[in-house]
Amino acid sequence: MKPINVGLLGIGTVGGGTFTVLKRNAEEITRRAGRPIRITTVADKNLELARRVTGGDVKLSDDAFAVVADPEIDIVVELIGGYGVARELVMKAIENGKHVVTANKALLAVHGNEIFAAAQKKGVMVAFEAAVAGGIPIIKALREGLSANRIEWLAGIINGTTNFILSEMRDKGLPFAEVLKEAQALGYAEADPTFDIEGVDAAHKATIMSAIAFGIPMQFDKAYIEGISKLDAVDIAYAEQLGYRIKLLGIARRRDEGIELRVHPTLIPAKRLIANVEGAMNAVLVQADAVGATLYYGKGAGAEPTASAVIADLVDVTRLHTADPEHRVPHLAFQPDQVQDIPVLPIEEVVTSYYLRMHVEDKPGVLADITRILADSGISIEALIQKEAAEGESHTDIILLTHQTVEGKANAAIVRIEALPVVQGRVTRLRMESL
Amino acid sequence: MKPINVGLLGIGTVGGGTFTVLKRNAEEITRRAGRPIRITTVADKNLELARRVTGGDVKLSDDAFAVVADPEIDIVVELIGGYGVARELVMKAIENGKHVVTANKALLAVHGNEIFAAAQKKGVMVAFEAAVAGGIPIIKALREGLSANRIEWLAGIINGTTNFILSEMRDKGLPFAEVLKEAQALGYAEADPTFDIEGVDAAHKATIMSAIAFGIPMQFDKAYIEGISKLDAVDIAYAEQLGYRIKLLGIARRRDEGIELRVHPTLIPAKRLIANVEGAMNAVLVQADAVGATLYYGKGAGAEPTASAVIADLVDVTRLHTADPEHRVPHLAFQPDQVQDIPVLPIEEVVTSYYLRMHVEDKPGVLADITRILADSGISIEALIQKEAAEGESHTDIILLTHQTVEGKANAAIVRIEALPVVQGRVTRLRMESL
């Protein structure tokens, strides 16, 4: 089937990730989309970089405006960032009747109203899953998954840089400035980290989410924004003593009087799931009237996680253009003729780890016998507890955690262990996954 | 605009919830869907119940087969459950060219291949978000949100009854049988809990997820299923000592040799987010090659959470039928002419709680002065720490957590506190949300 043609603007981190994932998973993505998604042209000022990343497989151009005017291109992917040339390119692409996929939260938060109005008028899609929380499909969840609900509020850890810094400040008791330097050295913070640490990036994302959650225009200029650069490590410690964690949250709440839209360091009860989102991870918690609270968690940045969202949008647009409406999204995700008959394995062939509990005579050599059987079966031990026998008892419990093995081997070893005269009764066997 | 007509089969828990939410949020749902979604007919054997729940607003029928044959009906919502009459009704509805929305995981896991083939042939949609993990939009995430990825494995807490029982066994150290009785008394477990506690329900859901994650047919009959009824409380305690929690997981993993599809009690490292999903909540963790790990969390059962998923499917089908393809899903979730100009409130009008830290002279009466100011401002105190001054120091820290108040009031109180001669320097003020 005829491929859908994509013009990719910007071959930086996310552009490179998009190119790589689209190539690596081409077969699987085509099975889902119903049609190959082909990057026809890559535009970047740095042609050398573009050549290196693409391996010269595609047309290269240093003129992005030529790409958005190219009649062969169906979808323009804008990964340049910022409000300047990116805005002009997106508006031109729309004007030329192209669908647009973008990861540009700043552009949408600030100029989204104008962009969506133009797209609506022209009958093209502007898809932006990658603009909020990277690879987490939160835009789709808010826009489609929760469409039955009156959304009451949402609160998100939507900036990985600041969450990494806050996690480190708490774990190591270090001041902000020191952790920021560490984050920069590790590549978690940019050389000029202002947009991240001052909360501007989070406010862009909160603005976008508020619009789709409540059905209101983008109002970024009204958002209250406070970052973490003035946060004192002592407050993180006091908060901890009181049972709280401090996170930089983007919050949007609907009240009778209007909308609260705000980004600031926030104390959250430490027991909440979202309080335990650490490091560079993102999470968005949504409170809605029918479903209650739902939470979406994953990597909010990085080449491939963001590419995952960009390509999901490409698949969405492609499905729309390929199938008749009734078949837009295949029932089972993959096109019906692309379902594969892969067998389900019998449980004996499953690979997992085990928790084994056995009741044994409390005498020397028992543990040696048991571990010998496991070693003979090629099963290695990760951890072990041997209880002392209680006063007056001749037997005690041994608990073993194994490394991964094939279930059939574990079963055979258990039979041999149960046959030992020093082992009383059956071995309790539970499976274990490190996830 | 002409409403889309829905025939609702079964007015039990989920049917009642669907009716209620669709009525309560009619305005908002119409703004999203672009067209009213109207329940035209409700079919249930128990007409008295149907009358009570619907208030007689709609046509009632005790003949579901007449409803699936009714030419006025566009979408059939099947909420009867089981494989018997539900299967016949779904097949008849498809045969009659109706779209189907169903929450019936048993039916899809066992007869899904036949049902989807018929739907494909007839050009109708069979939507089933409600079949897995209630209100969590996990089907949409797997089918659309992660379409760029090669999904490697998924693991889910997808049965609330068993998760509630396991949480209680751990918290209270009680045996399975006792907690099951409690769960039944609380309505978390059914009178005949077999499908839940023996893992069959979780296996239905894991089967459905495996199909859309890997592009394979439903293979429920090949799933390995082990429930929690034989789980010993002592193993929960030992696991805890070793740093693990035991959860009933539904696992689907792709290996070169084939698919692992299994449900069993599983040890998970206690630090993992999914290990901290407690009570009747559900969560699904998905590992995919580009995005990495993402997690989806929420209520997996109950009238309104499940209704949320049923109605999301209704909106999906309606959007498809209403708009031209380019406008299927509105950019900002709501139809463009339905965006509302609700103002964003200034930060002074935001309602939140506060953490206040102040450095004060360590002498009697200081705390009384401060709490008096807060009381005068109508701000009540939730918690307080007053540090003893360090040896030889004349000053110490007071940390206060307040209940909710309007930011403007908090600011005014802070100004007054800072003006007290016993208070040194500025008050540190952080916002706090209980989420």
User: The complex's ipTM?
Assistant: 0.94
Interface of A with B in 54-113 (CB under 8 A): none
Assess whether pLDDT exceeds 60 at residue A326. no
The two three-digit tokens of residue A420, written as one number: 């030992």
B275 domain-assigned: yes
pLDDT tens sequence across B338-385? 888 888 999 999 999 999 999 999 988 999 999 999 999 999 999 998
What is residue A97's predicted lDDT score, i.e. its pLDDT?
Answer: 96
Both B69 and B83 in a single domain? yes
Neighboring chain B residues of A430 at a CB cutoff of 8 Å: 231, 235, 239, 246, 264-267
If you average pLDDT over residues B39-52, what whole number do you get?
97
Count of CA atoms in the C-beta half-sphere (13 A) of A370: 28
Is residue B98 annotated as part of the catalytic site, yes or no?
no
Both B191 and B323 in a single domain? no
pLDDT tens sequence across A220-254? 999 999 999 999 999 999 999 999 999 999 999 99
The C-alpha of B149 sits at a distance from chain A's nearest C-alpha, in angstroms, of 7
Please, where are the H alpha helices in B282-358?
A: 303-322
Interface of A with B in 300-339 (CB under 8 A): 304-305, 307-312, 314-316, 320-321, 324-334, 336, 338-339
Cα A95 to the center of its chain, rounded Å: 32
Instruction: Map residue B269 onto helix, strand or coil.
Output: strand
What is residue B135's predicted lDDT score, i.e. its pLDDT?
Answer: 95
Please report, for the domain that includes residue B384, its CATH number.
3.30.70.260
pLDDT tens sequence across A40-60? 999 999 999 999 999 988 999
Can you tell me the distance from the alpha carbon of A266 to that of A235, in angstroms, rounded to the nearest whole number? 11
B324 domain-assigned: yes
* Range of the structural domain that residue B23 is part of: 4-134+304-338
Angle at A24 between CA A18 and CA A27, to 5 degrees: 110
Q: What is the enclosing helix (H) or strand (E) of A427?
A: strand A423-432
B418 domain-assigned: yes
B139 domain-assigned: no
> Of A338, A362, A385, which closes a domain?
A338
Angle at B54 between CA B51 and CA B56, to 5 degrees: 60
Assess whether pLDDT exceeds 90 at residue A93. yes
Count of CA atoms in the C-beta half-sphere (13 A) of A265: 24
Flag if B25 and A148 touch (Cβ within 8 Å): yes
Is some CB atom of chain A closer than 8 A to the CB atom of B28? yes
Other C-beta atoms lying within 10 Å of the C-beta of residue B351 = 14
Q: Which is it for strands B59-61 and A4-9: parallel, antiparallel or unpaired?
A: unpaired
Both A288 and A184 in a single domain? yes
Is some CB atom of chain A closer than 8 A to the CB atom of B399? yes
B290 domain-assigned: yes
- Could you say which of A98, A205, A247, A299 is catalytic? A205
Both B157 and B289 in a single domain? yes
Other C-beta atoms lying within 10 Å of the C-beta of residue B361 = 16
Please report, for the domain that includes residue A185, its CATH number.
3.30.360.10
The answer to whether residues A287 and A255 touch, using CB atoms and an 8 Å cutoff, is: no
Both A82 and A206 in a single domain? no
Please report, for the domain that includes residue B39, its CATH number.
3.40.50.720
Other C-beta atoms lying within 10 Å of the C-beta of residue A57 = 12
B317 domain-assigned: yes
Both B101 and B175 in a single domain? no
Both B271 and B309 in a single domain? no
Both B321 and B367 in a single domain? no
The two three-digit tokens of residue A181, written as one number: 């330097």
Assess whether pLDDT exceeds 90 at residue B160. yes
Both A253 and A143 in a single domain? yes
What is residue B387's predicted lDDT score, i.e. its pLDDT?
Answer: 81
Assess whether pLDDT exceeds 90 at residue B4. yes
If you average pLDDT over residues A354-379, what whole number do you get?
94
Angle at A44 between CA A43 and CA A49, to 5 degrees: 120
If you average pLDDT over residues B226-234, what whole number do you get?
95
The two three-digit tokens of residue B9, written as one number: 């089969």
Both A163 and A281 in a single domain? yes
If you average pLDDT over residues A369-378, what whole number do you get?
96
Can you tell me the distance from the alpha carbon of A196 to that of A248, in angstroms, rounded to the nearest whole number? 10
Confidence of residue B409 (pLDDT cuts 50, 70, 90): very high
Other C-beta atoms lying within 10 Å of the C-beta of residue B58 = 19
Q: How many domains does chain A have?
A: 3
Both A170 and A116 in a single domain? no
| Residue from the list B224, B258, B397 with its beta carbon closest to the beta carbon of A343 | B258
Phi/psi of residue A158, nearest 5 degrees: -125, 20
Flag if B295 and A296 touch (Cβ within 8 Å): yes
> Of B299, B327, B359, which closes a domain?
B299
Both A211 and A351 in a single domain? no
Is some CB atom of chain A closer than 8 A to the CB atom of B427? no
Can you tell me the distance from the alpha carbon of A191 to that of A195, in angstroms, rounded to the nearest whole number? 11
The C-alpha of A108 sits at a distance from chain B's nearest C-alpha, in angstroms, of 11
Flag if B232 and A296 touch (Cβ within 8 Å): no
B403 domain-assigned: yes
Please state the residue numbers annotated as binding site of B. 9-16, 105, 190
Confidence of residue B52 (pLDDT cuts 50, 70, 90): very high
Q: What is the enclosing helix (H) or strand (E) of B294?
A: strand B292-299
What is residue A143's predicted lDDT score, i.e. its pLDDT?
Answer: 94
| Residue from the list A28, A254, A433 with its beta carbon closest to the beta carbon of B155 | A433
B405 domain-assigned: yes
Is some CB atom of chain A closer than 8 A to the CB atom of B21? yes
Phi/psi of residue A427, nearest 5 degrees: -85, 130
What is residue A319's predicted lDDT score, i.e. its pLDDT?
Answer: 87
